[in-house]
Amino acid sequence: MNQLEKPTRTWTQKEVMSGIKSKLDLLASDRQRFRPKMGSFCQPMSKLVFRVRVLIWVLKRDALVDIISSSDRVGTRLKSPSSTAKSSWLSLTLFQYNIIVLLSWLISMPPFISFCLFSSPPLFSILKLLNLVPAMAFSMSPALKLREKPLLTSNKPEGPRVIKLKLRNQYARSPDANDEDTGAFEDDYGAAHAFGGEISHSLLDLKDLRYLDLSMNNFEGLQIPKFIGSFKRLRYLNLSGASFGGTIPPHLGNLSSLLYLDLNSYSLESVEDDLHWLSGLSSLRHLNLGNIDLSKAAAYWHRAVNSLSSLLELRLPRCGLSSLPDLPLPFFNVTSLLVLDLSNNDFNSSIPHWLFNFSSLAYLDLNSNNLQGSVPEGFGYLISLKYIDFSSNLFIGHLPRDLGKLCNLRTLKLSFNSISGEITEFMDGLSECVNSSSLESLDLGFNYKLGGFLPNSLGHLKNLKSLHLWSNSFVGSIPNSIGNLSSLQGFYISENQMNGIIPESVGQLSALVALDLSENPWVGVVTESHFSNLTSLTELAIKKSFLNITLVFNVNSKWIPPFKLNYLELQACQLGPKFPAWLRTQNQLKTIVLNNARISDTIPDWFWKLDLQLELLDVANNQLSGRVPNSLKFPKNAVVDLGSNRFHGPFPHFSSNLSSLYLRDNLFSGPIPRDVGKTMPWLTNFDVSWNSLNGTIPLSLGKITGLTSLVLSNNHLSGEIPLIWNDKPDLYIVDMANNSLSGEIPSSMGTLNSLMFLILSGNKLSGEIPSSLQNCKDMDSFDLGDNRLSGNLPSWIGEMQSLLILRLRSNLFDGNIPSQVCSLSHLHILDVAHNNLSGSVPSCLGNLSGMATEISSERYEGQLSVVMKGRELIYQNTLYLVNSIDLSDNNISGKLPELRNLSRLGTLNLSRNHLTGNIPEDVGSLSQLETLDLSRNQLSGLIPPSMVSMTSLNHLNLSYNRLSGKIPTSNQFQTFNDPSIYRNNLALCGEPLAMKCPGDDEATTDSSGVDNEDHDDEHEDAFEMKWFYMSMGPGFVVGFWGVFGPLIINRSWRRAYFRFLDEMKDRVMVVITVNVAWLQKKCKWERKHHRT
């Protein structure tokens, strides 16, 4: 006998009643635990409960007699199958059936009514009896709701059979669902409708069960019951998303009739090395083990799959598989596979060629697998493919042309790869399909190297609905053929290099819903024709992060758009100077972004009266003026940005639903309303900087517990900093710089555990730095400069390991610079100038490794004044590039430390102190130093020769020291010709100073240290060469005209000269002829004499 089968036994009536009693007690305890959550909510339901009690007795009994006829079968399970027992059991069964009908009627009721009915005393007692029905063999609690009554059939004479049990929680999100699923309910709503508890063995009574669906419930990590493997006739089993835990019971392999198995879950894992239990599912056609940890079976999973010869669908996403089989035919038994999903694993290999053996494959998903190499040729043979997802891998190379041969392909995703080249051949291949391509969705986004011009063949994809080409390198214009895509609903081509015009044919896309042309250097003019037929458009985005505006909107002021937008983003496009009047017709807008649109107008009254449910209003960086009306209404969590305009008047009142309010850089005046914290209690971001606001900081800001950033800088606020810092767990930015705040820094600011940026500079604050601030260990920027703070610099500053900026300049601090500052490994700006600090410069200052690395540009920057190049500069957008040490104007003494490790240091200012000793020789290793100010100290010795290699140095001040020797004159020092930078160094000589070094009047050493004699020789040689070239020209002129001038002018001299030349020629020829004859005669005589 199979060990999973329930042993045969008989029950006594006493045993049956004992089991009923234990179930009732358990359910009663569950009811008492759950009931207080609803409280008095159910009290008004008493009348409805009474009606339900009456309904129980008026149910038609005659309709049940034919269906519930199982008394014989029940009687055989009892020791005394008397007629009385049969009759009693039949009565109980009829009563249970009444409750089933009642529950099915309650399905149509709202959930709160169902709960109240179930939790009422009469119905709760009845519901407890329901637990005896085999189909409902769960330890049910009142929280569980029945969604569908079991399917009861009576084909056999022995009574009804339950063959289908579907208890899927239809209110929960599927484990495969993503955030874009519009039909999915929220998780907390789905959880409230989930089954739970242990599944009873009495479910085994359903011998004929063929369909079991418990998906999307919450069994809280309980293991899948092993006895499920005993349902020999089961064909459909779905336990996905039901929060089962532990391991997959191998007993599921006994379900030889199973056709469909879905165990998709994040909580399960496999302890088997080869998933051998799958081999028992010989009839299986659909298998989904998604999100199950199969890492222990990663090397052998294909063996188990190969045993499923009838398999049509295989889904193994997120299973921890690390390798694809490298066998030529790993799945030779699986010949009819239609769906293959191996996404979100970590195969880290190339696409295997055995994929091309699945000739019937229609769905292929290999996304997020770190697959490498190029997409191979061969997919053109898989003519049944309709869906391909290769996104989020490491593919390189060109798009294979044979992908364009897949005329049945509907979806192709290749985003987030490194595909390069052009798409012309691929598009041309698709356009050659006989009955046009079936492609509906094409996603090639985020490949960067994929580019070139968009081909005209793009317009042949008549069925295309979604086109994603964002974050690539496409150039030029959109082809005019784009207007032929009559089915196109989404066109995304943002973040490319499209530098052409936007064609008017875009306006023919009547089905277009979303158009995103952002982050491209478009040129030209956009008119009404570009939108002429966009009747379905709801989202329009054309934004640029760069400031130059090359795209102009030129539409008639009376133009009425054919669309109704809910999302509009036009940034760095010229809409102005007038406010766009066509927005008057857009009464469904939820997002408006008109940032940097060159609008220099007032916002008309009709705009504020549109009664829009705006979630985002951004009109920043324009020249908008006028007053902002009071009591503007916005939906919950709305964001309003009116920054960098010319709005004026008192602080406006806004809706209480705002989550972010940005009014920076305007002309608002007057005080901040005292009740601002009450009227806008949901604020998370509040920025009113760079206005003319006065008065004190409202205490009501303390009531905004969700505040994350508070920016009040550059106003005329006065008074003390209020005690509003408790219960602010998420506040990470506090910027109150450049006001007239006085008093001490509140110690309660130390409760801001999330604080990263504390900027209180430019006020009149006094007292010491509160020690409670040492609790803010995540601080990035600590700026208390330009105040009246006193006391010692706290040593606990060294515990702020994330600190990037420490600015305490222009205060009254005294004592030493604590050596703990050296432990700030991320520090980029250290500024304690203009204080009363004494002692020496910490020798460990050269260990500030942050001065040797780059800073992230994503930090909050605000603004910061830094003394560079001898003057105070304000940094804002490029603050992340600054690396500076400024200890100037203190009473610091001792020697300069070695700083050669600070390779990215840009500014070093140690002026106006009492430093002694020599300038370190290794200062020349600071290759990126731009500003060096060591003036007004007591430094001595030579200027290090290594400083001539500091090619970035453009500001130098060594004045008022005791330096000596010759000033270097080579390389960068040739540009330092201002004598004031060397002033009052009495022993310093050489240019640009008037004081000459010894020997400069005769023969002095050059800057390279060459001997005087060699220098004189070189000087003399250079002098002689100069005069040689200077005399050559005049000598040539005089010699030429002295000889040939008279010949040219005087004819008789010219004739005499040429006659003389002819005579000289004749004489030379006679002499040559005589001598040659004499030589020949002599040679003959010598030969003759030699013979004799």
Which is nearest to 893 in space by CA: 916, 919, 912, 872? 916
CB contact at 8 A, 309 and 333: yes
Q: How many residues does the chain have?
A: 1092
Q: What is the pLDDT of residue 1091?
A: 54
CB contact at 8 A, 763 and 736: yes
Identity (one letter) of the amino acid at 624? L
CATH match for 853-1002 among 3.80.10.10, 3.40.50.970, 3.40.190.10, 3.20.20.140: 3.80.10.10
Alpha-carbon distance 43 to 56, whole Å?
Answer: 21
129 alpha carbon, distance to own chain's centre: 55
Dihedral angle over CA of 1046, 1051, 1053, 1059, nearest 10:
130
Residue 684 CB: number of other CB atoms within 10 A?
17
CA angle 832, 835, 838 (to 5 degrees): 90
Token pair recorded at residue 510 = 């009547």
Alpha-carbon distance 479 to 970, whole Å?
Answer: 58
Q: What is the pLDDT of residue 943?
A: 92
pLDDT digits (tens, 9 = 90+) for 781-828: 999 999 999 999 999 999 999 999 999 999 999 999 999 999 999 999
SS3 475: strand
Q: Report CA Rg, the chain.
A: 45
At the fourth CATH level, which superfamily is domain 624-792? Ribonuclease Inhibitor (3.80.10.10)
Token pair recorded at residue 1050 = 């005087």
Alpha-carbon distance 399 to 383, whole Å?
Answer: 17
Q: What is the pLDDT of residue 759?
A: 96
Hey, what long-range contacts does 88-91 have (CB within 8 A, 24 or more apart)?
none
SS3 147: coil
Alpha-carbon distance 952 to 924, whole Å?
Answer: 11
Phi and psi dihedrals of 879, rounded to 5?
-60, -30
CB contact at 8 A, 293 and 316: no
The residue assigned the tokens 């009559």 is 486
Hey, what long-range contacts does 975-982 have (CB within 8 A, 24 or more apart)?
981/935, 981/956, 981/957, 982/958
Q: For the chain, first and last CA: distance in Å?
A: 143
pLDDT digits (tens, 9 = 90+) for 817-862: 999 999 999 999 999 999 999 999 998 998 888 888 766 554 555 5
Q: What is the pLDDT of residue 865?
A: 63
Parse the chain into domains and list their residue ranges. 13-142, 624-792, 853-1002
Q: DSSP labels for 843-879? A: GGGGG-GGGGS---TTS----EEEEETTEEEEESTTG
CB contact at 8 A, 815 and 840: no
Q: What is the largest CA-CA distance in the chain?
A: 173
790 alpha carbon, distance to own chain's centre: 43
Q: DSSP labels for 766-822? A: EEPPPGGGGG-TT-SEEE--SSEEEEEPPGGGGG-TT--EEE--SSEEEEEPPGGGG
Residue 1029 CB: number of other CB atoms within 10 A?
8
Enter the DSSP assignment of 533.
Answer: T
Alpha-carbon distance 520 to 522, whole Å?
Answer: 6
Which is nearest to 852 in space by CA: 887, 883, 830? 883
Q: What is the pLDDT of residue 649?
A: 95
Same fold, 624-792 and 853-1002: yes
Distances from the Cα of 723 to the Cα of 85, 701, 729, 785, angstroms: 79, 10, 15, 21
pLDDT less than 50: residues of the chain: 1-13, 16, 20, 23-24, 27, 30-98, 100-101, 103-157, 159, 178-186, 858, 1003-1023, 1092
